Chains A and B, each alone.
Chain A
Amino acid sequence: MESVNCPSCEALLPLRDPGLPYSTCNYCQSLVRRRDGAAEVVGTVASLPLDVSPIQIGTTFALDGNSAVAVGRVRWGWQDGSWNEWFLRADDGRHYWLGEAMGMYMLTSEYPAVLAVPAIKNFADGNPFALGATVKAGGKWLEATDVKEASCLGSEGDLPFATLPGRTMTNVDFRNANGDALSVQRDDDGTTAWLGRWSDLAGLQPKNLRRIEGWTMPGTLA
């Protein structure tokens, strides 16, 4: 694995996905931007609050015959809670977001086509989105069940955007009866859409899960 040194503390920064511009230094919490082989510190990331997520940087998943590894995590907070989103890089170079909520997982990959849907285009233009509205994405009808204003609580690993304190976004979650999921996120950089499905942890066939003290990893997941 390639690596650079943190310009701030000189610690080794492993590059899990050289294509990604941002890395969080595990030692000094510096957010390091890599561009043209050079690394510069652009700010300091908040330390992640304690949680009992079973996932860690390096956890692998078997997705549709493809293997993917968790390379980064951002934690979002909103009025009534907070959640993790893990950034996964698959062997074929595709990226996924794996969102954690209610002990369940929402696995999505980028699906820009839905941004052309008028209701979502309208949202991308800065307008609010109505709960209950339905959109069609990937041949599936999905209903908007949740709209949240979230702010960045911290990060680790390699990520596609800067995770400095104060970063905010608006997230619209869509779902349907079949467990399909669509997540549309709007922030200062623009709007992106991610389509996928809900799953439990076992359904993602994870390996190299985090060891959580006091708990035995189920044999099927170890």
Chain B
Amino acid sequence: MTLARAVTCPSCGGSIEVRAAGYTVTLACRYCGSVLDVAHEDVRLITAYKRANANFAIELGTRGTLFDVEWEAIGALRRRSPGAIWQEYLLFNPYAGYRWLVVADGEWQFGTMLLHRPDGAGASIEWRGKTYQLDDDATVETTTVLGEFYWRVSRGDRVQCATFARGSSFLSREAATDEVTWTHLVPVDRRQVEEAFAVRQRYKPRAGLKAIPDGFFKAPGTGENDLPMMFLMALGALLMIGIVQDLMSRPHLCANNRFDVVVGAATATHKIGTIEVTRPWQFVTIQADSNDFSNRWVDLDYSLVNRRTQQSIDAYGIVEYYTGSDSDGPWTEGSHHGETQFAGVPRGSYDVYVDTGSHGWPTDPPANATDPDHPWSAPDSISMWFNACTGGHSWGMFWIFAILLFGAPCLILWRRHRD
């Protein structure tokens, strides 16, 4: 004869075993999560739920040996206080009674209910001749219930919980409406629990990825609320990267100039000015702005010529703007602004040159066309303003960081949403 009592869930019809028969009064169905009253022979539905939350580190029914006693995990709670979220497992052995396994942030504690309660009140209490200091006092809410319990339990239960600490050992005082219970909690080695109770893989820090801190993975007990934290941290890190990028790009030493570029004329070389790169390596950014034009483009071949070595660093830019009209109506393309960036310019003094060449689209206007009626009119030309500055930073790099930082939490969010 097996000593588990079999009951049928009135909500989902699932067959469930009551392991601590005779003691258990509340059972949350392992299939649908519905909370059942099993205190009496006829099972009564207290609250119906559609889905059991199986998101616990230890599967209920698992047995493991801790402190030389074999325990069966028969109940699991997910609880939270304003500052933390954790999981609690009710352990049972018919000869030894009940114990608790509590896990928060990947740290496990083994709890025993006290028959001899501590003395004193307030910030410090005395128990077995030792003083414990108040560590935390908060309202604790039960958010998830699974398995069986020897008292009435339901989602949303709230108790006032005060914790007193002495080294790594804690005394926890829980005051519900009509009773006070005291629990003594001692730390248990994580590996010991993992081994004893076959802790689910996803709740274990992965071996082999030592470079990634344990906290990166979902430690049991950290629950759902670590995600907002991850997003916040990613945002913070990105902000820091932005600030560092900006600071690293300083100082901004600039040279500027203005030239007219004749459309259709041969390429002309202009000197924008001289700039000083004062850091070992620095970005140089050249902004080009033009007056209003349309259906023209200006090729810009930049050269930074080191005054000492006469070596040149080249880059290319373009300013182009087109308008037209087709079956969809009028359209425009391009911009009157262009930006060109030199990455990693070594320290030194540079002359900044630009070769300009402008052309019309679809064809160049006639070169040096002179209207016989207006012989004094200027040739078709574009005014260009150049501003060359040291500094500036790579937005591409910034966005790559953003993707790397937000990728992981987004992936986790998606995975959990799917669960």
Contacts and interface: CB of A to CB of B under 8 A. Distances in A.
A122 interface: no
B119 interface: yes
Contacts of A102: 23, 97-98, 113, 150-151
Interface in A98-153: 100, 102-104, 131, 145-146
Contact of B70 (A84, A131, A178, A215): A215
B22 A215 contact: no
Interface string B235-246: 000000000000
Given A103-B150, A216-B70, A198 B115 contact: yes
Q: Is the interface of B mostly helix, strand, loop or mixed?
A: loop
Interface in A74-101: 77, 79-82, 84, 100
A179 interface: yes
Interface in B37-58: 39-41
Given A84-B22, A104-B113, A218 B178 contact: no
Given A51-B22, A52-B21, A53-B22, A177 B97 contact: no
A132 B231 CA distance: 48
Interface stretch (A20-28, A183-191, A206-214): A206-214
Given A77-B40, A80-B152, A84-B22, A50 B92 contact: no
Contact of B96 (A177, A199, A201): A201
A218 B71 CA distance: 12
B69 interface: yes
A52 B3 contact: yes
B3 A50 contact: yes
A221 interface: yes
Interface in A164-213: 177-179, 198-202, 209, 212-213
A72 to B, nearest CB: 17
B22 A178 contact: no
Interface of B: 1-3, 5, 19-23, 25, 39-41, 68-70, 92-98, 113, 115-119, 150-152, 178-179
A19 interface: no
A54 B41 contact: no
Contact of B95 (A100, A179, A201): A201
A213 B97 CA distance: 16
B161 to A, nearest CB: 18
A79 B93 CA distance: 25
A62 interface: no
A12 interface: no
B95 A209 contact: yes
Contacts of A216: 70
Contacts of A80: 25, 39, 151-152
B116 A179 contact: yes
Contacts of B95: 54, 201, 209, 212, 215, 217-218, 221
Which 8 residue pairs are nearest across A and B when measured between Cβ atoms? A51-B22, A103-B97, A177-B117, A81-B25, A198-B115, A103-B98, A179-B115, A52-B94
